Amino acid sequence: MREKKDERRLCATWMGVAGFLISDGCDSFYIDPFVSRYSIFRVLAGLPLPPRIELVRRWIGLTGGASAKAVVVSHSHFDHALDAPFFAGETGAVLVGSESTASIGLGAGLGEGSIKRVRPGDTHDIGDFRVRFVKSVHGFGLFGRTPYPGSIDRPLAPPAPAAAYRLGEVFSLVIEHPLGVIIHHGSAGRAAEVFYGVRADMLLLCVAGRGNTAGYLEQTAAACGAKTVVPMHFDNFFRPLEARMKHIPFLGMEEFVKTAAKVLPDAVVAIPEPGRALFV
């Protein structure tokens, strides 16, 4: 059934990895939209990763984001930032992120007028939304190391290999709206300040690289009293988004869900599906 036009509701529509369209039925914006997705061979071999504009257009259509006002990027790794300037270019949205994200935008051909650089503590308003950029940390990568550390200090023209997409500043996003609060924690680092003194209605929570699940949930979902926890960044993003979804190897999704039921007895854990809106 179609919703009444005057009935505004907050929703988050997942698009794989840490990508979402956030909407209140009136204004919308993207976070970390990444749909190009490349084989693990291509990534590990250091081959250039060409953005797939036809997929960007398709997912703008599937998520209903044609009038998105911003594309917000939580950190500059390729699986968060590679497609972001193209989502901005196609929709006319402003690209909002770190200096490194700005370098990705400039390299992709966006003008300075379409880019906003933010630092920890900054905010960006979109309609009734206020997005707060909170300093965060990256989760554990392979062998406990953060992949591709450093920053991108000059315009990065695509196609470029994965290693060119350096980390840059890592943000968690506290999204405040009269209808509720959503937190996007795009990488599984322990960043207490993100969750301190905030009550979240919905927490979009990276599960890859989380380490001990119970400890992670205590410091994130339990700390902010999240009513709904939406795990994300669990899909194997070396496969096409529209292929049958597989999890990242050794991710332990079942263990995550079981532990969440114990640690967060009052929260709902909602597993997202690509292209389907989850309402706050």
- Give me the least distance between CB of 173 and Zn ion, in Å please: 15
Report the residue number, 77 or 124, with the smaller CB distance to Zn ion. 77
- Give me the least distance between CB of 207 and Zn ion, in Å please: 13
Binding part of the chain for Zn ion, among 18-26, 34-42, 74-82, 204-212 by CB under 5 A, reads 74-82
- Give me the least distance between CB of 191 and Zn ion, in Å please: 14
Report the residue number, 177 or 233, with the smaller CB distance to Zn ion. 233
Report the residue number, 137 or 270, with the smaller CB distance to Zn ion. 137
Torsion of CA 203, 150, 48, 43, to 10 degrees: -60
Report the residue number, 77 or 177, with the smaller CB distance to Zn ion. 77
Assess contact for 31 and 68: CB atoms under 8 A: no
Site string for Zn ion, 97-116 (x = CB under 5 A): --------------------
Residues numbered 169-188 forming contacts with Zn ion, rule: CB under 5 A: none
Site string for Zn ion, 23-62 (x = CB under 5 A): ----------------------------------------
> Does 77 engage in binding with Zn ion (CB under 5 A)?
yes
Size of the site for Zn ion (CB under 5 A): 1
- Give me the least distance between CB of 138 and Zn ion, in Å please: 6
Report the residue number, 51 or 186, with the smaller CB distance to Zn ion. 186
- β-bridge partners, 232: 206
- Give me the least distance between CB of 188 and Zn ion, in Å please: 9
Report the residue number, 129 or 237, with the smaller CB distance to Zn ion. 237
The CA distances from residue 187 to 17, 55, 89, 178, 229, in Å, are 10, 24, 25, 26, 15
Binding part of the chain for Zn ion, among 69-77, 177-185, 210-218, 233-241 by CB under 5 A, reads 69-77
Q: Which residues bind Zn ion (CB under 5 A)?
A: 77
